[in-house]
Structure 1
Amino acid sequence: MRTTESTTGGLADDRPLLGRTSTAERVADILRTRIAEGYFPPGERLSEDAIGKALGVSRNTLREAFRLLTHERLLVHQLNRGVFVRILAIEDVEDIYRIRRLVECAVVRGLGAPPFPLDGLDKAVGDGERAAGGQEWAGVSTANIHFHRELVALAASPRTDELMRGVLAELRLAFHVVADPRRLHEPYLIRNRQILERLRAGDGAGAEQLLAAYLDDSRGQLVEVYARHIEAGTRGT
């Protein structure tokens, strides 16, 4: 009869992987956040030497982090060329919004009885309005991403949070093709505020209705921008 000792004895050989894996996951978290906040635009090649030196991690650790983010579709590996931030297609944008509508609306629908914990949403709305006041449209974009992340966090579900971290980071890749970020982001400042106020009033159904229309309008606008971007690129080739 096998004992626990006999079946786990070989695990000691894997002990070094624990530190490396956890470090790789932390590195992936950092890079994911940087992608979500727009520091690495689509098509940019990520330098192993520069990033490894900046973070003080080994090449193997960094490659494991790249592998994790490739699995999340944020990066792509091109043979003999390196690792690049992924460039989305129109179908990717449509799928991102399909997932967002399913998840975000379900979160609001399932909130239960008020009051809701709205401090994170309130801060994200305020950050966006202040950034707009300073004409900092990249900051408005970042605050908008934070608004939706905080909205999903209302579900108090680590799995949902993890799913949406990757989805919202992918969404930020789509924003990079927008030539006029003010036109894209400014109309949604007031809509974020309206959703927040509906939730503050305890009107989850009203907030969900506003959110669904918001996501449908945003999807249509971004898909249209993407189509024009691709058409312009085709004419230029």
Structure 2
Amino acid sequence: MTDSAGTASRVADALRAQIVSGELKPGTRLSEEQVRKVHGVSRSTLREAYQRLIRERLLVHELSRGVFVRQLSREDVADLYQVRRIVECAAIRSIRSLTPSGLRRLSATISDGRAAAEESRWDAVAAASIRFHEALVALAGSDRLDTMMSGVLAEFRLAYAHMSDTRVYHAAYLGRNREIAEALRSGNIEEAATLLETYLTDSEAALLEDYPDR
């Protein structure tokens, strides 16, 4: 990887992290001048970083207007849930052994989510939820699967911007995250996969109930 490509990757990683954390909301216009100043990069390097995120469906370029954080349609959200049900549930069912480090990572995301909820930091709860699902998939032990799901979940994070009540939505799933983790710790792989499948179906219905048409 050339220095320029490495720098573009670093900038893309930083912007992606801001999207996952909720700092950059869907519809936000990214100022080229400001982003270049923050990261100390050239125009060409920034554009390379933007192109990476456009390919990941996190940003969109609008002619004569600039680059924006992408806004998801109802169809986008439904498709992402379909992908998640297929991949996440299959990933759990493919687990052959559970490592202490993998379970600790899973537990840490649950603790982070509960701590953030107690302080009513709902963007942080959302970010912890994304990390929980990344940790779930990581239990399958596939680097390629981890990379794929990291991109899917980063794109999915954009859907949270249109929730009618983030507190009610996220509070309902904190306990269900714990139930899935407890099933895994007990070695009940199929139970965990079934809990996750129901979780994702219920989550989709709740999220799309008031989701705006685009």
Give the TM-score category using the shorter length.
over 0.9
Structure 1 counterpart SS, 2:60: strand
CA distance in 2, matches of 1:224, 1:126: 28
1:225 matched to 2:199:
no
Post-superposition Cα deviations, 1:61-117, rounded to whole Å, max 9, x if no partner, equal 110010011011111101111100111100100011111111110111000144563
1:200 matched to 2:201:
no
Aligned in 2, Cα 1:208/1:82: closer, same or farther, shift over 3 Å?
same
Aligned in 2, Cα 1:215/1:80: closer, same or farther, shift over 3 Å?
same
Structure 2 counterpart SS, 1:176: helix
Q: How many residues align?
A: 213
Look up the match of 2:198: 213
Q: Which amino acid aligns with 1:140?
A: V
CA distance in 1, matches of 2:126, 2:98: 28
Structure 2 counterpart SS, 1:83: strand
CA distance in 2, matches of 1:211, 1:26: 33
Structure 2 counterpart SS, 1:84: strand
Look up the match of 1:68: 52
Shift of residue 156, structure 1, vs aligned partner: 2.2
Q: Which amino acid aligns with 1:67?
A: Q
CA distance in 2, matches of 1:32, 1:135: 23
Structure 1 counterpart SS, 2:91: helix
CA distance in 2, matches of 1:49, 1:211: 43
> What root-mean-square deviation, in Å, do the aligned CA atoms of Structure 1 and Structure 2 show?
1.4
Give the conservation status (yes or no) of the 8 Å contact 1:115–1:200. Answer: no
Post-superposition Cα deviations, 1:108-162, rounded to whole Å, max 9, x if no partner, equal 1000144563011000001111111122222211111110111111122221111
Q: Which amino acid aligns with 1:155?
A: A
Post-superposition Cα deviations, 1:164-222, rounded to whole Å, max 9, x if no partner, equal 12211111111001131011111100000000000010111110010000001001111
CA distance in 2, matches of 1:147, 1:48: 32
1:161 matched to 2:146:
yes
Report the structure number with the largest CA radius of gyration.
Answer: 1
The partner residue of 2:126 within 141, 159, 164 is: 141
CA distance in 1, matches of 2:124, 2:51: 29
Normalised by the length of structure 2, the TM-score is 0.95
Give the conservation status (yes or no) of the 8 Å contact 1:74–1:85. Answer: yes
Q: Which amino acid aligns with 1:89?
A: S
**1:186-197 correspondence to structure 2 within 5 Å:** 186-197=171-182
1:108 matched to 2:96:
no
Structure 2: stretches of 5+ with no match in the other structure: none
1:98 matched to 2:48:
no
Post-superposition Cα deviations, 1:21-73, rounded to whole Å, max 9, x if no partner, equal 12111211111111111111111110111111111111111100100110111
Q: Which amino acid aligns with 1:187?
A: A
Look up the match of 1:47: 31
CA distance in 1, matches of 2:133, 2:179: 14
Q: Which amino acid aligns with 1:196?
A: A
CA distance in 1, matches of 2:48, 2:3: 12
CA distance in 1, matches of 2:127, 2:27: 20
Give the conservation status (yes or no) of the 8 Å contact 2:98–2:139. Answer: no
